[in-house]
Structure 1
Amino acid sequence: MFRAQLGSNTRSTKIGDDADFSFSDKPKPGTSHYFSSGKTDQNSSEYGYDEINIQGKNYNSGILAVDNMPVVKKYITDTYGDNLKDAVKKQLQDLYKTRPEAWAENKKRTEEAYIEQLGPKFSILKQKNPDLINKLVEDSVLTPHSNTSQTSLNNIFNKKLHVKIENKSHVAGQVLELTKMTLKDSLWEPRRHSDIHMLETSDNARIRLNTKDEKLTVHKAYQGGADFLFGYDVRESDEPALTFEDKVSGQSGVVLERRPENLKTLDGRKLIAAEKADPNSFAFKQNYRQGLYELLLKQCEGGFCLGVQRLAIPEAEAVLYAQQAYAANTLFGLRAADRGDDVYAADPSRQKLWLRFIGGRSHQNIRGGAAADGRRKGVQIGGEVFVRQNEGSRLAIGVMGGRAGQHASVNGKGGAAGSYLHGYGGGVYAAWHQLRDKQTGAYLDGWLQYQRFKHRINDENRVERYKTKGWTASVEGGYNALVAEGVVGKGNNVRFYLQPQAQFTYLGVNGGFTDSEGTAVGLLGSGQWQSRAGIRAKTRFALRNGVNLQPFAAFNVLHRSKSFGVEMDGEKQTLAGRTALEGRFGIEAGWKGHMSARIGYGKRTDGDKEAALSLKWLF
């Protein structure tokens, strides 16, 4: 209960020191008390203030200030009337009704004081006019100070506390019912639930709420100008951290110092309660994005709520993921001719070992979006481990393996990004050839491989790593037809062949992961068949010195049943085009049936280019 104390018109103080601290630091010794405008609590050893100044200093306290006199005055005048002198008496009278022993004790002490002052006269007066003397004693008990004038009471009850925090100060502490705070070029960290009637902020004023238990209420109109910093994960609390009960205007910033995760769970959560705020009173100072989602601060019913906006897949990421899905399924793809598996150009009874080097470039784009340029290289090696031949056919089984990698880069609307993948593949193959006159006949070829890759995609802000694995397989068939032959020069035999071909390749390398921003990423295009149909023309020159030259050219049409792409949180982006025309040419040279070398170059209408060097040994 309030005990009246003599007051003055003004009482101000300067506090703080130069020592830095953090909010988690305990208040320094000697600051367990707080500053107040009136004494209503034994802990309020610093009372009667109307101004607290913190200028270029640091101050850390559990409770910074309690502006209790306006509250006391409102209670007393509402309950006992506007005449403060009478109201104080009535308030004390009600107090003594709950404490009859104290009432009797104080009356006794007052009478003793009168007896000491007046002597026997007081007893005589009391006998003659007991009612009058009793009223005199009671009035004396209910008057705290004999010199409590109306001016003194006004000084007490009209005192209001103003806290000024300015000039790069750092202050932590709770304020209760504070009449006014001026925050300028400084940081204030409220503790627990603080409330202010008038808040003025300017010039890089910052208010940081460190935990979900810190709340701030502003009772009167606020004109903005501060940055409100949230030092905790906003998912921890479902209640507004800031409450503005009157009009809010101007512009204030909001900063989430703990970058939120799982943004979708924040949609609709109210951060600020402000029913009378202008639409643009609060705004984020920076973007908060996670994967395909962006966090927004928007006006909602009764304040400002968090909203979540779904974004399109960044074009740079989309095309790189899609290109990596394509590369992982095609880097180790090959045709029978790529292994030097042309028994019509050599002695079919001999087994062979082959080595192939590849290098290529690609230019691929997502539908209507960014394009990625890739550079790949690899090596494959294999050899026959079983051969069976008779007069009419030849069957060979072999093993193969290899290593390949690809770099890619993209410059799109979403900025620059790059990617890299490398991996290994291995498997078996089998080939059957029909042996007819003049090196003609049909053939069937097939292979099966298992592949594993490591992937990396990076942009200016982060790096994503993931893995893929899976099977690829192929079935190919064709016919080697002699079109023309002759002899030129001194016994050099020349033959011209056409070889219609068809190939079906199963592409089954796949992968998926959750990226560093919590987005589910899945590669598209796995589990499909790619078809190739075309014709290969070659001319074989069998020279007398044991050298065979075989220039060749091929034309093919390639088609995939599905598009390669990426799916991120349910949104899909795919590479443009599933059909391409291809042209290849090159030359193969053999020496005395022991070894041969083949070099070739190919180009497709989808922007893919490839060069290859193959070596083959017969034994």
Structure 2
Amino acid sequence: MHALTGFQNGTLNIDAGGNVTVNQGSFAGIIEGAGQLTIAQNGSYVLAGAQSMALTGDIVVDDGAVLSLEGDAADLTALQDDPQSIVLNGGVLDLSDFSTWQSGTSYNDGLEVSGSSGTVIGSQDVVDLAGGDNLHIGGDGKDGVYVVVDASDGQVSLANNNSYLGTTQIASGTLMVSDNSQLGDTHYNRQVIFTDKQQESVMEITANVDTRSTTTEHGRDIEMRADGEVAVDAGVDTQWGALMADSSGQHQDEGSTFTKTGAGTLELTASGTTQSAVRVEEGTLKGDVADIFPYASSLWVGDGATFVTGADQDIQSIDATSSGTIDISDGTVLRLTGQDTSVALNASLFNGDGTLVNATDGVTLTGELNTNLETDSLTYLADVTVNGDLTNTSGAVSLQNGVAGDTLTVNGDYTGGGTLLFDSELNGDDSVSDQLVMNGNTAGNTTVVVNSITGIGEPTSTGIKVVDFAADPTQFQNNAQFSLAGSGYVNMGAYDYTLVEDNNDWYLRSQEVTPPSPPEPDPTPDPDPTPDPDPTPDPAPTPAYQPVLNAKVGGYLNNLRAANQAFMMERRDHAGGDGQTLNLRVIGGRYHYTAAGQLAQQEDTSTVQLSGGLFSGRWGTDGEWMLGAVGGYSDNQGDSRSNMTGTRADNQNHGYAVGLTSSWYQHGNQKQGAWLDSWLQYAWFNNDVSEHEDGVDRYHSSGIIASLEAGYQWLPGRGVVIEPQAQVIYQGVQQDDFTAANHARVSQSQGDDIQTRLGLHSEWRTAVGVTPTLDLNYYHDPHATEIEEDGSTISDDAVKLRGEIKVGVTGNISQRVSLRGSVAWQKGSDDFAQTAGFLSMTVKW
């Protein structure tokens, strides 16, 4: 039909299966039925009012044809109740005269537009596309609100110079963009919104589109209410605003994904707020301002794709499965604020002259990093190479992974100030350790924490290298300093390892190096002799090495010494001596000395002993013998300080002893002549040794102590008594083997010991019952005390010789009760000094 004109009272009924094809004309009456109305190719037709669009079938607009719709508010209401299906097969749907189309209408609100291709010339407000392969929305309406693209698997192209004021929403399909004006008014630059989580939504940029407004300089934002993809064609560089969160308040961006595809470059020019995941599958995504997506849940960069920071960027987390390139622009930083620490991050992802800043505790990098690195938080860098500067001023760098031997290599400058954590074996020089290798300038003070993964503690000479300054010292400055954390040492077994600089490198050493003394200068010869040929030079003297012992070793020695000496007695110190029937003795003292040449020992001792006579009898003509019992309690406390490390260990022991005493007098008690005295006791102790941050060692010790003493009492006259003495003391208290808090196995390797004493006792027995006394004693301990820790033997041969002066006075309270007090001073080898006070009360009957 070439032309068809219908007036308001006319009716056209097209039955099902029927088809009316027109080329031109208009129709204002009623068109109804289930058939199809076709506007023929290159034709033009006008439908006026809702009654002209009452078909339940389709209105088809063929290629080149134009269908114009006219209507008012009543017509719109009618269409909303019964939408008309319009199929564009290359034709044009003109809505420009449907002037009362209401804002806010959407899919199925009046028209269902589908087809293979076509153009829709918009009216004031909404055009809703229901499908098609290549539909086109155009027109110059001035007051539109927004455009919804719902093209299923198809593509939608927008006409240039659109001026609608609203947003562009992509629910499905692909929106093709080649000019900013296609997206509505360019002054307001409303955002593009991805809206449907159930369908694939794409915006494809086919030309160099710069969405930044010439007035506000702000680009169009991309709002994430669902998954969305921006494809940028090869050779295209496009600028947009911010990647924004869901502005509807529904937080639909959480859990969604923004994907960049295509070989072109997408540049974001405003700071974003989305919490979507960001994926760069192809091409380049670039920042133009700081923090383009600081709240995004993650960033993934695919193989061959690139993310360029462009400015300082905070990023929550980088997906560890990324395989592309993250280019940190010169002068910018990329800060990881919430990185997933459950998997390691491949350092080779990062490139550029900027700085990667880790602000997440526990991030692990592997491989080779081709940018600068700053560690604001704990960062694991075992076997990592940094081809840039490493700044470790406030965080911590850790190589600890339970295996010694990892290396961190810095090919740029190293700046310390934070902490460096290593794994290391702690044995001798050949121990395996993690290591920091520096190939550039160095500065700053770094605290080192060493985790001992194995070892028993052994003497070192060179030491265990942990920091290697491998750069040429003539080309690079080495000003970095390293120190051990805490007390400045790390303990293994009997040895304390300190961190020592030697020839620009840093070593863990368990020994102190004492350089050899320089030779005395040759005197100037007078006159100058004729020089002889130079003799073959002697080899350079070897420096002396002294092991650095752990202060706890001194604690073990203090406890062992106290246990063997706490209950020692001479003849006058127990019942049976000097005719005593009952004796109560209290001793308090303090001694100090230097053990093993480096441990300053100090001990406070206190002992209470009670002894009594059990049996006595005659021996020969006027001789006498006595048998008694003795028991006591001792409590001793002390400390040991290392002269090398300054560390201190505290020790304490308390214990008991019970035993028997016996005495023999040639001419009866207190008469001139020879005498013999002996005692045998069993002692047992509980011992503690502790050191700050190294736990408490608790162990037992027990054994026999015994004595045999002989003397001769000579009374030259006037109440004066002179008595030479000799005593042999068996010291058999030994500590049990135990495992220390540092896991070292500790035992006493030296067995029983014999101590000897030679003495001279003198007293003056006055008529008033007061007897002053003076004793001179000389002690000899022939054997060294030896402690073994994890196979290393520490020998303390200090205080083998010492002398004693003891002054006292004895006074009778009654005929049967007397008090005796004395003070003794001892001096010996190895700075040994002891002061002790004695007070005893004796009862005779």
TM-score by length of 2: 0.49
Among 530, 544, 547, the alignment partner of 2:755 is 530
Correspondence for 1:394: 625
Whole-angstrom distance in 2 between the partners of 1:14 and 1:524: 75
Correspondence for 2:237: 9
| Residues 284-337 of structure 1, C-alpha deviations (whole Å, 9 max, x = no match) | 642426596897534599xxx998654543575554443333223222222222
Among 563, 569, 581, the alignment partner of 1:334 is 569
Correspondence for 1:583: 805
Maintained 8 Å contact 2:439/2:469: no
In the superposition, relative to structure 1, how do residues 464 and 575 fare at CA in structure 2: closer, same or farther (>3 Å)? Answer: farther
Whole-angstrom distance in 1 between the partners of 2:506 and 2:244: 37
Correspondence for 2:291: 55
Among 49, 55, 64, the alignment partner of 2:299 is 64
Q: Aligned runs of 1:164-563 on 2, under 5 Å?
A: 166=312, 171-174=317-320, 175-181=322-328, 183=333, 189=339, 191-194=343-346, 195-200=348-353, 202=355, 210=363, 215-218=366-369, 222-227=387-392, 233-235=400-402, 248-251=411-414, 260=423, 263=426, 267-268=431-432, 277-278=439-440, 285-288=447-450, 297-299=466-468, 309-311=509-511, 312-314=547-549, 316-339=551-574, 341-343=576-578, 346=579, 352-390=581-619, 391-408=622-639, 410=641, 412-415=643-646, 417=648, 419-436=650-667, 438-459=671-692, 461-486=693-718, 494-522=719-747, 527-541=752-766, 543=767, 548-563=769-784
- Give 1:162 shift: 1.8
User: What is the SS of the residue equivalent to 1:414?
Assistant: coil
- Give 1:498 shift: 1.7
| Residues 444-476 of structure 1, C-alpha deviations (whole Å, 9 max, x = no match) | 3122222213223334x4453322312141222
| Residues 239-292 of structure 1, C-alpha deviations (whole Å, 9 max, x = no match) | 77x7x8xx82211669888875865699546678x9x95596999642426596
In the superposition, relative to structure 1, how do residues 173 and 67 fare at CA in structure 2: closer, same or farther (>3 Å)? Answer: closer
| Residues 12-49 of structure 1, C-alpha deviations (whole Å, 9 max, x = no match) | 887799xxxxxxxxxx952677767759xxx9577544
Maintained 8 Å contact 2:576/2:663: no
- Give 1:601 shift: 1.3
Maintained 8 Å contact 1:325/1:565: no
Whole-angstrom distance in 2 between the partners of 1:33 and 1:271: 42
In the superposition, relative to structure 1, how do residues 283 and 264 fare at CA in structure 2: closer, same or farther (>3 Å)? Answer: farther
In the superposition, relative to structure 1, how do residues 428 and 285 fare at CA in structure 2: closer, same or farther (>3 Å)? Answer: closer
Whole-angstrom distance in 1 between the partners of 2:256 and 2:406: 30
Could you tell me which amino acid in structure 1 is paired with residue 560 of structure 2? A
Could you tell me which amino acid in structure 1 is paired with residue 402 of structure 2? R
User: What is the SS of the residue equivalent to 1:173?
Assistant: coil
Correspondence for 1:616: 842
Structure 2: gaps spanning 5 or more residues: 1-230, 246-252, 265-277, 372-385, 471-504, 512-546
Correspondence for 2:57: none
In the superposition, relative to structure 1, how do residues 278 and 5 fare at CA in structure 2: closer, same or farther (>3 Å)? Answer: same
Whole-angstrom distance in 2 between the partners of 1:48 and 1:422: 75
- Give 1:433 shift: 0.9
Whole-angstrom distance in 2 between the partners of 1:332 and 1:299: 55
Whole-angstrom distance in 2 between the partners of 1:376 and 1:355: 17
- Give 1:423 shift: 0.5
Whole-angstrom distance in 1 between the partners of 2:302 and 2:445: 31
Superposed CA RMSD in Å reads 4.7
TM-score by length of 1: 0.65
User: What is the SS of the residue equivalent to 2:349?
Assistant: strand
Maintained 8 Å contact 2:709/2:728: yes
- Give 1:610 shift: 0.9
Whole-angstrom distance in 1 between the partners of 2:724 and 2:658: 26
Maintained 8 Å contact 1:176/1:196: yes
In the superposition, relative to structure 1, how do residues 199 and 189 fare at CA in structure 2: closer, same or farther (>3 Å)? Answer: farther
| Stretch deviating more after TM superposition (253-262 or 192-201) | 253-262
Whole-angstrom distance in 1 between the partners of 2:557 and 2:594: 9
In the superposition, relative to structure 1, how do residues 341 and 30 fare at CA in structure 2: closer, same or farther (>3 Å)? Answer: same
Maintained 8 Å contact 2:749/2:788: yes
Maintained 8 Å contact 2:300/2:318: no
- Give 1:396 shift: 0.4
Whole-angstrom distance in 1 between the partners of 2:551 and 2:819: 40
Whole-angstrom distance in 2 between the partners of 1:289 and 1:463: 16
Whole-angstrom distance in 1 between the partners of 2:662 and 2:399: 66
Maintained 8 Å contact 2:728/2:754: no
Could you tell me which amino acid in structure 1 is paired with residue 323 of structure 2? L
Structure 1: gaps spanning 5 or more residues: 18-27, 71-159, 487-493
- Give 1:511 shift: 4.5
Maintained 8 Å contact 2:607/2:632: no
Whole-angstrom distance in 2 between the partners of 1:16 and 1:474: 90
| Stretch deviating more after TM superposition (372-381 or 231-240) | 231-240
Could you tell me which amino acid in structure 1 is paired with residue 646 of structure 2? G
Maintained 8 Å contact 2:773/2:807: yes
In the superposition, relative to structure 1, how do residues 400 and 432 fare at CA in structure 2: closer, same or farther (>3 Å)? Answer: same
- Give 1:163 shift: 4.1
- Give 1:424 shift: 1.2
Whole-angstrom distance in 1 between the partners of 2:292 and 2:696: 45
Q: Aligned runs of 1:119-138 on 2, under 5 Å?
A: none
User: What is the SS of the residue equivalent to 1:55?
Assistant: coil
| Residues 351-392 of structure 1, C-alpha deviations (whole Å, 9 max, x = no match) | 722211111121211344352333322322232344444553
| Residues 128-154 of structure 1, C-alpha deviations (whole Å, 9 max, x = no match) | xxxxxxxxxxxxxxxxxxxxxxxxxxx
- Give 1:603 shift: 1.1
Whole-angstrom distance in 2 between the partners of 1:193 and 1:430: 77
Aligned length: 487
Maintained 8 Å contact 1:440/1:480: yes
In the superposition, relative to structure 1, how do residues 548 and 299 fare at CA in structure 2: closer, same or farther (>3 Å)? Answer: same
Whole-angstrom distance in 2 between the partners of 1:165 and 1:481: 100
User: What is the SS of the residue equivalent to 1:326?
Assistant: helix
Higher helix share: 1
User: What is the SS of the residue equivalent to 1:443?
Assistant: strand
User: What is the SS of the residue equivalent to 2:843?
Assistant: strand
Larger RCO, structure (CA 8 Å, separation 6 or more): 1
Q: Aligned runs of 1:83-98 on 2, under 5 Å?
A: none
Whose Rg is larger?
2
Correspondence for 2:255: 30
- Give 1:161 shift: 2.1
In the superposition, relative to structure 1, how do residues 14 and 521 fare at CA in structure 2: closer, same or farther (>3 Å)? Answer: farther
Whole-angstrom distance in 1 between the partners of 2:825 and 2:345: 71
Whole-angstrom distance in 1 between the partners of 2:406 and 2:618: 82
Whole-angstrom distance in 2 between the partners of 1:337 and 1:581: 19
Could you tell me which amino acid in structure 2 is paired with residue 501 of structure 1? A
In the superposition, relative to structure 1, how do residues 558 and 306 fare at CA in structure 2: closer, same or farther (>3 Å)? Answer: closer
